[in-house]
Amino acid sequence: MSTKKQKVIQKKLPREVYSALKNVAGEQWIYEQRSVVETYSKLSIEGGSFVKKHEKDPHVLPACVVLPASTNEVQAIVKICNRYHVPFVPFTNGQVFCNPTTQDPTLIIHFSRMNKIIRIDTQNMCATLEPYVDYGMLQAEAMKRGLWNGGTPLATTLCKLASQFAFAGLWQTDLKYGLFSRNIVSVKMVLPDGEILTTGSRCIPKAGDFFEYGPGPDLMGLQRAGVGTNGIVTEITVKLHSWVGDESIPDISAGRPSLVDVHDPKYDNPDKPLKNHKLFWCEFDDFETQIKAMREIAHSGIAIGLNATGVYSAFYCSQTQAMTIKRCEEKFFPEWNCYVILANVTSDKQIEYEEGVLRQIIDEVGGRFLSESYKPEVLEALKPWNYDCIRHSTGYRMNRKFYANAWLPVGPIDSAVTTQREWKKALDTFGELDITDRGGAEDTPFIYALQRGHFCLFETDNYPDPTLPDEIKKAQGFGIYGAAAVVKNSLGPMLMAFLNVEPFTTMFPEAGPDSHLFMRKIRKVFDPNSVAAPGRQVFTEQEWQQFPEAVKNIVNKMREMNDMPAVE
Amino acid sequence: MTILTDLKNILGEEKVFNDDENIEKYSSDQSFVQPRKPDLIAFAENVKDVQEVVKYANKTNTPVVPFSSGLNFHGGTIPKEGGIVLDLSRMKSIQVDDNNWHCVIEPGVTVSQLQDELEKHNLRAMLSFGVHPDRSALTSYAERDPAVAAASFEYGNELIMDTELVLPGGDLYRTGLWSAGGIPGSPMGPVRAMIYRMWTGAQGTLGIFTKMNIKVEYLPKKRKVFLLQFDSFPEAMEPLRMIQRKEIGHECFLINNFNAASLLCKKWKVPEQFPAEKAEAGEFDALREKLPPWLLVLCSNGGPRMPEGKIKYEEEALQEIFSMAHLRTCDDGPIEDMFLKEMLRPWGILKKFCYSGSVHDISFKTTLKRVPEFQKIVMEVINEHNYPLRDIGMYILPIERGRAVHCEIDFHCNPRSKDEVEQVKNLWHVVSERFIDEGAFFDRPYGIWADMVFARAGTYTQKLKELKRELDPNNILNPGHLCF
Amino acid sequence: MTYYEKKPEKKFFEKELEDYRDSIWGCARCNWCQNHWGWNVKSAEYSEVCPAFHEYRIFPYSGMGKMHMARALLEGDFDYEDAPEMVKFLYTCTTCGACEMNCQRLQDKEPLQVNETLRAKMVADGVGPMPEHKGLIKSVKNYDNPWMQPRTQRDRWARKIPVKDANREKVETLFFVGCTSAFDNTQWHVTQNTARILLHAEVDLGMLGKSEICCGSPVARIGDRETFISLATRNIELLNNTGVKEIVTFCPGCYRSLKFDYREVPGVPELKPRVYHTAEYIHRLISEGKLKMPGKMKLKVTWHDPCHLGRHCGIYEEPREIIRAIPGVELVEMERIKDQSWCCGGGGGVRTAFIDFAQKTATKRIEEAKKTGAQAIVTACPFCEQNIGDALSKMDEDIDMYDLTDLLIKALETEA
């Protein structure tokens, strides 16, 4: 229940902790003013933090923000947190999972000062980055050297690569380059206990930083996707690949917008993709044909990217909320579609060959290409993808809505059908929050074909009004229901506020099975004092016992709706 | 004997053995690792058997050494502290998913069985050069044997998808999509994106894989092999880099004339047992003399559709490099045919064991640029040890378009000649130490390499030990290996 | 109320925080408010566009931070006394609009408008602006200019230039000089150049002289809406009464106020004359063949987009085309240009209240310009010229600073 005008008072760190932190970072780089901590408290796409804001929950506010400049400073800060048992949360952009996780005064470690590309090794095709380096920065520098990192996330080039190490790293060009997890050479981390861990060949003196496994059992894989709970990445070395496009992205012919005409679509519409790249949009009569075509394309060995966008193109390619809604209402974009990104990596004739293969497949399955003569207005509207397919800048365009929940299961491409069916069931049960929520039910879910189509990721989203807490709660309900629905259907929810963060890790013991028990052991090794965003990734037994009954009951209710027994 | 009785009760009479012949068989391999006899050998036929044995071992503090084919050449299954050798070779299920190009294998499936089965589905597994046809395919993937197509970022790497394993406490655990409780089908699942990697390169010390879902690829309808000859390795470096930057072909590697001659030697056969029997070397010697010092082997694979088109544009791109770098090709139909065969069934190189009977390799990762540094070290050490340069086999495999290279340097000796064994053992030891000192990266630090590597790995080693203590508090899984 | 229920459209200068409620709740934290638009990033070094966040590294200095602070203040999560530091955060913003540009483009939201509305609220509530701004406001109120200069000095720059007095005779085109260049004699070269160029092209040019008053831009940006509205009202009446057809100004602040901001003032009549920036106007004269440039020089220059001219008002190409039209002048571009231009650091009251930060920001711009190999930075804004010029004078850099009109005068008045 929102209590307007009631103040929200932050907690403060004990003075000796503050002083110790100040000594490490310097007075200029530690903040505990009320307005500062406010800007580190309401996140982007985590419905929970929004609801807490509406409910005036003070625990959403961190106690203090510190900005280290080096691995050594991060280590010193983490050691202080261990000494005084102060929980900390690593923070870059603040899009997900950066809120304090407990009711204790919490330290935010913000990495905005650690924003350098440490080195680009053109010989061995890798780059070493500080945690605040984003995809745009890396691509800009790598492309000048005839290299690139292999893709950008739909959540835009502003994602920090070190953050993506902690979460997911899903790219449009995953078909060829795989997920970000396929593209990490090594990490240097400050572990929650203050020790510094380096992984891969880099951990052996004189070996160099070029190989990702070992020595022996691989700890990098264990650290990845730890949502910042297993340690703080202070340096990450990522793989680079051959780049055959322009050294930088050319300006588009319409020029640049100003505030006078910023919403004119012409500024978002590059006429063609980058040099040596080509983009095709295909339309199908039904979902079944779309899936069939995507499987055939993935298996044909062509293309660097293969994805379906569905309703989400209405967001990405519309400059205002009004345009988005209009296009959804009119079903302006093809309901059953996919786009294919081709590149001349090996030869100038590669695209020509791959286009031949693509046309053969589309012809065989009975699809159509959007073209100058077939739905040219739709093709025109989709032009932002000409650049976005390589460096995604219009991603995360929700205009005036809020992206509060997503289902992101992975599985073989046929699982798209299950995702669609379950999403429709959820919409029919709870009702949609926005016209765009119907995307994924009445047309294609977002589908990414990953690693030559060996598996795929599907996405369906809710877009509630951020000013209405009841809508956000409903979106959260979708999320919890979705977790149960996808587990029930043996799909793997990969990321977002589902099974890889609590309370879901503990409340879905089917996963693993009993992955929570296994992960408790891991947590004990890396975070013996429970200071790294405690309880985000997995509860200790004690934390689980203290978890509010009310939330347990909600999750159990959703389990029950999916014919799953309650968790005690 | 209590353990014997107990295990017979748990698994059944026909699954547990402690006769001398078996005990002897499981106590050593052809490596320099000190042999040690197990107390008994238990055969698991299913996951439940594995769980039961592991649970029993925990109760009785008995070491358990997982064993599949024993063809690892690096002492991985020698029971350093005795105990139970748990032989998984009877677990032989293969399930191919034609639609999604996956295949679930159990530890008893050999690489040749796997490849045979997949070919029926017009698919193929990506295998490691020099893998024995009888080696457990699951173990080969678990031990990160680099695929012969490792140069291809997309097709030759990260081949494991979902896994099923028994944890050191005996609990069943799954990774990837499989962990959601249903079908396998993705390396990512509800838990962590790449958690399975913790159990790779682990020699069964942190858990026992009982099933693995691996990526498989289409069986190319058209393929073409290109051979380039070089007088020295440094000469090959820039052309190799150019080829890889252009992402031409899937399989790509370099071998020296010793290894090429072994492959081409018709009189030699791939041994079934190791150490092998020394064979007559006349044909081999003649081939070695005739072949260029280094061969770069590259295979272009046509796609499932319009395969000629793909090979054509790749060949054109390759020709540009040939003319730009003035490269010498080695146009020889029979050699090309032999290599085409090796790309799918890459075990012919094991004929090298026929030269002396025993081969001791030093396998490590480095960067392409640094390979000559390590070659120089080898030259220095063999001179000191009077080992002939011509008797060294070398295999250089670019990984992920040349970001890293996998190097294998072989030394040969007759296992029946104590002097030769002693000479090569010393030499092998010195080279290993010098390599590690100079930064050769042994990502699979087995046998004597373990101490050398883990002593240098600082926090990494410390955290591995802590993990081991947490997951395997009784230290029952393959104790004495790695840093455990 | 949901997004779909059409709200009554208000003009900017009557909007309150509540009018941005959906926007500030919906900030997606995409971080584009701090960063160079992704397609246009050419290097890691120049991947940021918000000078304040670039310098201070914490979110309250960014557009996103303003949205979050505004939300908390609006909902009563804290009040001024809980967060006295907020005034500094709000005023360490040059109002360059880089955040607004990228946020509008991506999210259809308005962080700069929110910041200016916050400033207005703070001024109305007696909490803002910064103490350093108070003299400026007082001066505008008392002297009709922000620089505490007597009105009588306003036309000193024009003593030797035959510009007509628009108060007395009918002219077609009015030269709106603006306070800074009228009173600061280091800027007179620009006013004089402008007048000479327009007269050279036989433009029927007049000016208001001593009766010109401040356009209101400085007080608008600082958040004193009351004073701004008063000035806007007076100016509209004054300018409409002249009967001129067109107004030319070279100050981007004046240009934005006259052309766009006055439309956002509730309850005032429309400004009738068409408003041009000198770059626009001269571009037209060149296109019409009314300005011939016989002079030839050998000079490599880079163009610094003044924020209020380029990003705010869309004048990107005209000055560039003018430069390219000058014989012998080569234009080379910096990385951050046009909509993604890096601010000189002087706007939004920052130069008045935070001179060190303003100068640091200018220094970064000079360094960026140097990397192009240019011999001179060319711009067309008195504030940019002051701020970059000051920073340049303290640096040991071999690069000059010119106003666009400096080049033109050289080209017009030099023999071929």
pLDDT at res. A4 = 54
Q: Please give the mean pLDDT across all residues of chain B.
A: 95
Show the beta-strand stretches assigned E in C20-137: none
Q: Identify whether A249 is part of a domain.
A: no
Q: Identify whether A437 is part of a domain.
A: no
Separation of alpha carbons B120 and B19, rounded Å:
39
The number of domains in chain A is: 4
Lowest mean pLDDT among A26-35, A101-110, A154-163: A154-163
Task: Give bridge partners of residue A340 from the DSSP assignment.
Answer: A280, A306
Q: Are C278 and C380 in contact (CB under 8 A)?
A: yes
Separation of alpha carbons A196 and A193, rounded Å:
9
Q: Would you say residue A2 has pLDDT above 70?
A: no
Residues A54-65: b if buried by 16+ CB within 10 A, e if exposed:
bebbebbbbbbb
Separation of alpha carbons B398 and B167, rounded Å:
34
Residues A216 and A165 in one domain: yes
**Domain final residue, candidates A59, A80, A110:** A110
- Tell me the pLDDT band of B12, cut-offs 50, 70 and 90: very high
Tell me whether residues C104 and A117 touch, CB distance under 8 A. Answer: no
Residues A224 and A298 in one domain: no
Tens of pLDDT, residue by residue over B389-418, are 999 999 999 999 999 999 999 999 999 999
Lowest mean pLDDT among A24-38, B50-64, C3-17, C37-51: C3-17
CA distance B472 to chain A (A): 11
Q: Would you say residue B447 has pLDDT above 60?
A: yes
Which residues 76-105 in chain C show a CB within 8 A of chain A? 76-79, 82-83, 85-86, 89, 97, 100-101, 104-105
Tokens of A262: 């910023």
Residues A228 and A141 in one domain: yes
Q: What is the dihedral of CA C66, C69, C73, C77, to 10 degrees?
A: 170
Q: Would you say residue B347 has pLDDT above 70?
A: yes
Residues A130 and A169 in one domain: yes
Q: Identify whether A370 is part of a domain.
A: yes
Interface with chain C: mutation pick from A32, A53, A259, A269, highest number of C CBs within 10 Å:
A259
Q: Which CATH number fits domain C293-413: 3.40.190.290, 3.40.50.1860, 3.30.2180.10, 3.40.50.2300?
A: 3.40.50.1860
- Return phi, psi of residue A48, to 5°: -55, -45
Tokens of B388: 């002939």
Q: Which residues contact B41 (CB under 8 A, 6 or more apart)?
A: B16, B17, B18, B22, B23, B26, B67, B84, B85, B87
pLDDT at res. C4 = 40
pLDDT at res. A477 = 86
Domain containing A297 equals 268-388
**All structural domains of chain C with their residue ranges:** 12-124, 131-283, 293-413
Tell me whether residues A347 and B445 touch, CB distance under 8 A. Answer: no
Separation of alpha carbons C46 and C35, rounded Å:
9
Q: Would you say residue A1 has pLDDT above 50?
A: no
Dihedral-angle region of residue C178 (phi above 0 means left; psi in -120 to 50 means alpha; beta otherwise): left
Tell me whether residues A4 and C105 touch, CB distance under 8 A. Answer: no
Measured CA to CA in angstroms, residue B375 lies from A204, B102, B180, B395, B422 at distances of 20, 39, 48, 12, 22
Q: Give the length of chain C.
A: 416
Percent of chain B scoring above 70 in pLDDT: 99
Higher pLDDT pick, B268 / A562: B268
Candidates A110, A391, A397; nearest CB to C107 = A397
Separation of alpha carbons A378 and A409, rounded Å:
29
Which residues in chain C touch residue A50, judged by CB atoms under 8 angstroms apart? Answer: 25
Tell me the H-state helices in B157-272.
Answer: 233-245, 257-264
Tell me the average pLDDT across A305-318. Answer: 90
Q: Are C342 and C305 in contact (CB under 8 A)?
A: no
Residues A122 and A237 in one domain: yes
Separation of alpha carbons C57 and C47, rounded Å:
14
Percent of chain A scoring above 90 in pLDDT: 69
Give me the total of CB pairs closer than 8 Å, taking one residue from chain A and one from chain C.
214
Residues A188 and A272 in one domain: no
Residues A282 and A365 in one domain: yes
CA distance A518 to chain C (A): 34
- Tell me the pLDDT band of B383, cut-offs 50, 70 and 90: very high
pLDDT at res. B332 = 81
Tell me whether residues B101 and A345 touch, CB distance under 8 A. Answer: no
Tokens of A8: 């929200």
Residues A232 and A273 in one domain: no
Q: Would you say residue A476 has pLDDT above 60?
A: yes
Q: Which fold has domain C131-283?
A: Rossmann fold (3.40.50)
Which residues in chain A touch residue B176, judged by CB atoms under 8 angstroms apart? Answer: 492
Residues B287-303: b if buried by 16+ CB within 10 A, e if exposed:
bbeebbbbbbbbbbbbb
Strand order in the sheet with C376-379: C329-331, C299-303, C376-379, C400-403
Q: Identify whether A560 is part of a domain.
A: yes
Task: Give bridge partners of residue A233 from the DSSP assignment.
Answer: A189
Radius of gyration of chain C (CA): 21
Would the pTM of this model clear 0.90, i.e. be above it? yes
CA distance B294 to chain A (A): 22
Tokens of C124: 């109305």
Q: Are C329 and C301 in contact (CB under 8 A)?
A: yes
Tell me the average pLDDT across B205-227. Answer: 96
Q: Are B249 and B197 in contact (CB under 8 A)?
A: no
Separation of alpha carbons C230 and C262, rounded Å:
11
Residues A231 and A336 in one domain: no
Q: Identify whether A466 is part of a domain.
A: no
Q: Which residues contact A473 (CB under 8 A, 6 or more apart)?
A: A47, A51
Residues of chain C with pLDDT under 50: 1-6
Interface with chain A: mutation pick from C3, C41, C43, C318, highest number of A CBs within 10 Å:
C41
Do domains C131-283 and C293-413 share one topology? The answer is yes
Residues A450-467: b if buried by 16+ CB within 10 A, e if exposed:
bbbbbbbbbbbbbbbbbb
Separation of alpha carbons A310 and C154, rounded Å:
62
Nearest residue in C to A40, CA atom: C59
Tell me whether residues A399 and C57 touch, CB distance under 8 A. Answer: no
Check CB contact of B245 with chain A, cutoff 8 Å.
yes
pLDDT at res. C1 = 36
Nearest residue in B to A524, CA atom: B470
CA distance C19 to chain A (A): 13
Check CB contact of C134 with chain A, cutoff 8 Å.
no
**Domain final residue, candidates A48, A82, A110:** A110
Concatenated DSSP letters of B320-389: HHHHHHTPEE---HHHHHHHHHHHHSTTGGGGGHHHHSEEEEEEEEE-GGGHHHHHHHHHHHHHHHT--G
Tell me whether residues A215 and B471 touch, CB distance under 8 A. Answer: no
**B465 alpha-carbon distance from chain centroid:** 25
Write down all domains in chain B, each with its CATH number in brackets.
2-87 (3.30.43.10), 94-218 (3.30.465.10), 223-437 (3.40.462.10)
Residues A225 and A196 in one domain: yes
Percent of chain A scoring above 70 in pLDDT: 97
Nearest residue in A to B482, CA atom: A216
CATH number of the domain where residue A49 is located: 3.30.43.10
CATH number of the domain where residue A353 is located: 3.30.70.3450
Concatenated DSSP letters of A109-148: EE-TT---EEEEETTTTEEEE-TT-BHHHHHHHHHHTTEE
Tens of pLDDT, residue by residue over A486-537, are 888 877 765 554 445 788 888 889 888 998 999 999 999 999 999 999 988 8
- Give the ipTM of the model, two decimals please: 0.96
Q: Would you say residue B216 has pLDDT above 90?
A: yes
Tens of pLDDT, residue by residue over A264-295, are 999 999 999 999 999 999 999 999 999 999 99
Separation of alpha carbons A478 and A432, rounded Å:
10
Tens of pLDDT, residue by residue over C208-240, are 999 999 999 999 999 999 999 999 999 999 999
**Domain final residue, candidates A58, A84, A110:** A110
Candidates A215, A452, A514; nearest CB to B460 = A215
CA distance B289 to chain A (A): 34
Higher pLDDT pick, A403 / C241: C241
Q: Are C291 and C285 in contact (CB under 8 A)?
A: yes
